[in-house]
Amino acid sequence: MTRIHAAWLILSCLFFASASVGLAQSSVSVVEADGTYRLLKDGTPYPVRGVGGQDSLALLSAAGGNSIRTWSTDDLDVLLDAAHANGLTVCVGLWLGHERHGFDYQNDQAVSRQLEDCLKAVRQHKDHPAVLIWGIGNEMEGEGTNPAVWYAVDHIAREIKKIDSHHPTMTVIAELGEDEIKLRNIERFCPNIDVVGVNSYGGIASLATRYRQADIKKPYIVTEHGPLGPWEVESTSWGSPIEATSTAKAERYANGYLQTASAQPNRCLGSYAFLWGHKQETTATWFGMLLPDGTRLAAVDAMSKVWTGSEPKNRCPRIESLRADKTAKLKPGEVIKVVLDAKDPEGDSLRIAWLLRQDSVRIGTGGDFEQEEAMFADAVTTSGMEATVTIPDAGGPFRLFAYVKDNHGGGAVANLPLFVDAPIKPIPAPKPTLPLVIYDDGFAPSYAPSGFMGNTNAIQMTPNCEDRPHSGKHCLQVKYNATDQWGGVLWQSPPNDWTGMQPGGFDLTAASALEFHVRGESGNEIVSFIVGGIETENPYRDSAKAELKEVRLTTQWEKMRIPLKDLDPHRIKTGFGWSLAGQDKPLTFFLDEIRFVR
C-alpha cells in the first residue's frame, strides 16, 4: 500500500558495508508435490514470517521474523546488506505504474521503459544473498480487468527468468477482485508468475477459502495484513473512521497469519504483516507496528508469538478503554474530561503522553502519501490516567491520542474522535525547509501529481525518464497523446483535494519563486504552468495563484520562474501544474528540478 524510503539505513549499515562480499547468491524455488506447494531457500523449506517495511531489523530478527518486503528498489544496496547482516531476506518490490496515477498500459514506449527499469534492478541485485523473491508491482491492477496490465506483468516476469533463474516471481494484488477475477486473469495471462501476493485486511478470515475455491494453480503469500482498514470500519456521525486500540489490533495481526499461513500451509507460503514502522495513513497510528521512536506495539508481540510459539519476556502494555464525558457538539474553549484504562501485564510502571490532533476525516487510496495532521500541544492537561482537554478555537473534527509506554521498549496507543460544533478555522500550514522539492529525480512527498484534468486518457507521465535530464539520472517525461481537446495535471496537497475542504499545503511566505526546468521534444510545444488554483471560499483554499501562460518550448532546457513576490503564499495547496490545448498532433515535453526557492 505504500513505497517506503530508507535513507537512514546508510548510517546504520556502515558497520556491515562488506556483509555481502564473497557470499554466494541464494537459490530460491517454488516446488509442488501432490497439490502441496513449498518455498525452498537453498534446498530448505522457507515459510515466510515477514513484515512490510524496513525499520528496526535487529528487533524483527529477535522477534522471530525472517523476511521483509519493499515496494521499490530505493536504497536497495544498503537495505540488502542490512537485512543479510540480521539474518533476513528481502522480497524486492519492483514498482509498476498505476492507471489511476496516469500510467497508460496501452503506451508501448512507457511499458517498454518500465520493463527495462525492472530488469536493470534485477541485473544489479540478483546475486545478493538476501534476495528472496521479485515482487512485480503492488496493487497496480485496479479492478483487475485490463489484460494489458497482466500482459505487462507477465512480460516482466518472463524476462526476469531469463536473467535470474534462482528467484521466483510474484505479483501483488489488492484482494482477489469480484468473483476472484484478478486470480483468474493472473492464471490466464501470467504463466510466468510463480506466486500470487495478496494484500488482505477485512477479508483475511475467508481468504484461504476463497483462494481455494478459485482453483488457481499457483501458491500465494499474504503480502499485507493487519487491522481492519479505515474503509472497513464504522464511523462517527461526522464521518471519522473509528480506530481500534493497538491492543485490539494485535489479535487481528496474529489471526491474519493463523488463518492463512498456518491454516493453509499446502497453498500459502507465508505472510508479510503491515507495517513494520509508522506512517500517516488516515491517522498517525492506524497501520504502524512501531511508534516513531522505535517503541514496539502489541502487534509485534502478537506476530512474535505466532512465529516462535512463545510470548516475549516482557509484553507491551494493554489499553482496555479510552473514554470522554463528551465527544460531539463541543464548543471552542470547552473543557472535557478523559479517562484511560491501561495496564501492564508484568506490573511495570507506565508513562502516558496525550496529544490532540486535527482530523482530516480522509480515507486515502492505495497508501498514497498523506501529510501529518496539525497538533495542539497545549490543549491537554494530564494527571496519570486522566486528562482534561481544552477545545481549541476552531471547529470541525479532531482526534485525541493517548500513548502508553513501559520501561522495556513496549507501548500502546488509542485515540478518540471529537467534533467541535463551530466554523472550521483553518490550521496554519507548516513552513517547510527551502528549497521545497516537488520533482527532482523522482516524486518528492511534498505535493502529489494527483489532479488529472481534461482528456485524462491522453496524459501519460513517466517520472524516471533518462532522456537527457537536466541534472541527475532522471527527468519527468510528459506525453499528451491526443491531437485535440485539452489536458493537464496539478500537484496537490493533500492528493485529490479540489475544493479546499481538507487541511494541507505549505506556508511559502519565505519563498521567492517556484523554479523549474523544461524542454520540448520537437520544439514549439505550447504549455501553460501554474501555482495555486483552488479559488473557492472554503477554509483550505490556495491563498495565491500565479501563472505562466502559453509558454513556447524549445528543444533545449530552459529555466522558468514563477515569482511569488507581491502574493500571499501562506497556504499553497496546489504546488505546481501544467495544462495545454491539443495542437493537431501528440506532443511530448520534459520537466526537471521543480522546487520552491528562497
The three three-digit cell numbers of residue 332, written as one number: 471552542
DSSP class of residue 306? H
pLDDT digits (tens, 9 = 90+) for 348-374: 999 999 999 989 787 766 666 676 777
The pLDDT > 70 percentage for the chain reads 94
pLDDT band of 164, cuts 50, 70, 90 = very high
What pLDDT score does 21 carry?
Answer: 45
User: In 3D, which of 301, 192, 208, 282 has the Cα closest to residue 239?
Assistant: 282
Tell me what pLDDT residue 12 has.
Answer: 40
> Pairing mode, if any, of strands 587-597 and 475-480?
antiparallel
212: amino acid identity, one letter: R
Residue 206 has a CB neighbour count (10 Å cut-off) of: 13
Residue 322 pLDDT: 98
Per-residue pLDDT tens over the stretch 519-558: 999 999 999 999 999 999 888 999 999 999 999 999 999 9
**Separation of alpha carbons 268 and 198, rounded Å:** 10
Phi–psi pair at 431, nearest 5 degrees = -95, 115
Check residue 444 and give its pLDDT. 65
Tens of pLDDT, residues 228-260 = 999 999 999 999 999 999 999 999 999 999 999
Quickly tell me which residue has 494484488 as its cell. 173
Burial of 237 (0-12, 13-18, 19+ CB in 10 A): exposed
Q: What sign has the CA pseudo-torsion 287, 289, 294, 296?
A: positive
Q: So what's the pLDDT on residue 497?
A: 87
Q: Which of 92, 137, 93 is nearest to 111 (CA)?
A: 137
Asked if 194 and 31 touch (Cβ cutoff 8 Å), the reply is no
Write down the pTM of the prediction.
0.78
What does the pLDDT read at residue 104? 86
The pLDDT value recorded for residue 4 is 40
Checking DSSP bridges between strand 459-465 and strand 448-454, what pairing results, if any? unpaired
**In this predicted structure, what is the pLDDT of residue 8?**
37
Q: What is the mean pLDDT of residues 117-131?
A: 97
> Parallel, antiparallel, or unpaired: how do β-strands 268-274 and 48-52 relate?
parallel
The CA-CA-CA angle for residues 11, 14, 18, to 5°, reads 150
pLDDT for residue 575: 97
| Structure confidence by residue, pLDDT tens digits, 283-324 | 999 999 999 999 999 999 999 999 999 999 999 999 999 999
563 prior amide bond cis, ω within 30? no
- Are 464 and 502 contacting, i.e. CB atoms less than 8 angstroms apart? no
Of 142, 109, 144, 147, nearest in space to 460 by CA: 109
- β-bridge partners, 375: 357
Strand intervals (E) in 553-598: 558-563, 574-581, 587-597
Residue (of 43, 55, 41, 45) closest to 13 by Cα position = 55
How many CB atoms within 10 Å of residue 170? 29
* Residue 415: Cβ-neighbour burial (10 angstroms; 0-12, 13-18, 19+): buried
Strand duo 436-439 + 587-597: pairing: antiparallel
Q: What b/e string do you get for 505-531 counting C-beta neighbours within 10 Å, with b at 16 or more?
A: bbbbbebebbbbbbbbbeeebebebbb
Contacts of 387 (CB under 8 A, 6+ apart): 337, 338, 340, 354, 380, 381, 400, 402
The grid cell for 373 is 495532521
pLDDT band at 2 (very low <50, low <70, confident <90, very high): very low
Q: Within a 10 A sphere around the Cβ of 456, how many other Cβ atoms?
A: 11
Give dist(CA 373, CA 286) in Å, integer. Answer: 13
Closest by CA position to 404, among listed 414, 419, 396? 414
User: How is 214-243 classified by DSSP, letter by letter?
Assistant: HT-SS-EEEEE--SPPTTSS-B-TTS-B-P
Task: Evaluate whether 505 touches 576 at the Cβ level (below 8 Å).
Answer: no
Phi and psi dihedrals of 124, rounded to 5? -70, -35
Distance CA 83, CA 15 (A): 13
Integer Cα distance of 250 and 24 in angstroms: 37
Condensed to tens digits (0 to 9), the pLDDT of residues 195-218 reads 999 999 999 999 999 999 998 999
Rg for the chain, CA atoms, rounded: 25
Give every CB contact of residue 329 below 8 A, 6+ residues apart in sequence.
Answer: 419, 421
pLDDT of 566 > 60? The answer is yes
Of 10-24, 54-68, 178-192, 286-300, the poorest mean pLDDT is in 10-24
Region 150-174: what's the mean pLDDT? 98
**46: its cell numbers:** 522457507
Q: 96: exposed, middle or buried (C-beta count within 10 Å: 0-12, 13-18, 19+)?
A: buried
Q: Say which residues have a Cβ less than 8 Å from residue 234's Cβ, sequence separation at least 6.
A: 241, 242
Average pLDDT, the chain: 92
